[in-house]
Amino acid sequence: MLIDIDTGWIRDVRRVPSPNCDARPPGSAPELIVVHGISLPPKDFGGRWIDDLFVNQLDRRAHPYFETISDLTVSAHVLVTRDGRPTQYVSFDQRAWHAGESCWRGRRACNDFAVGIELEGADDVPYAPQQYDTLARIVAALRRAYPTLRDAEIVGHSDVAPGRKTDPGPAFDWERLMSLLKLAG
């Protein structure tokens, strides 16, 4: 996997540009990787709803749960579906709106300095092996492309927004991801 350092986009992956992003603050660079879990509706996989949410086109009438989230303006840099396919929504050079009110090691507003990667899943549903493979390839590519991410920590959304968020949840296998990253070099 290659990232075009001039644009911040992964080459040769599906793109669905989200309007839910803006410039990182002056002097900010990606320094943290935040792993999320998402499914719309909850525990329902494979639909178009995540794309729709990230581009502000979620039909609130399509499912009762959507009534509660259709007004959100959120995004992520990348989503990895259950079959391991990545979709990029926001350039890594931009601030995606994924972490919300957040703090890591005393620094608030993690969106300013983080990359947000969503995995299609749920806290208590095991993630698919191909999702870990793709996630590890994306992290390895980010570490090659961005010097500020070479030694970056990888954390869960629950780590930067404790008490407010629980994803990627107990079903996420951190050891598996770390093992794959060691293999990726």
Please tell me the distance from the alpha carbon of residue 185 to that of residue 166, in angstroms, as a whole number: 29
Quote the percentage of the chain above a pLDDT of 70.
99
Nearest to 114 by CA among 15, 185, 14, 21: 21
CB atoms within 10 A of CB 46: 11
The structural domains of the chain, with segments of one domain joined by +, span: 3-184
On whether the pTM is more than 0.85, the answer is yes
Q: What is the token pair recorded at 60? A: 């609130």
How does pLDDT run across 139-161, given as a tens digit for each residue?
999 999 999 999 999 999 999 99
Query: Choosing from 67, 118, 120, 153, which is the catalytic residue?
Result: 118
Active site residue 118: yes
Under the banding of pLDDT at 50, 70 and 90, the label for residue 91 is: very high
Which numeric CATH code is attached to 3-184? Answer: 3.40.80.10
Over range 63-90, report the average pLDDT.
Answer: 98
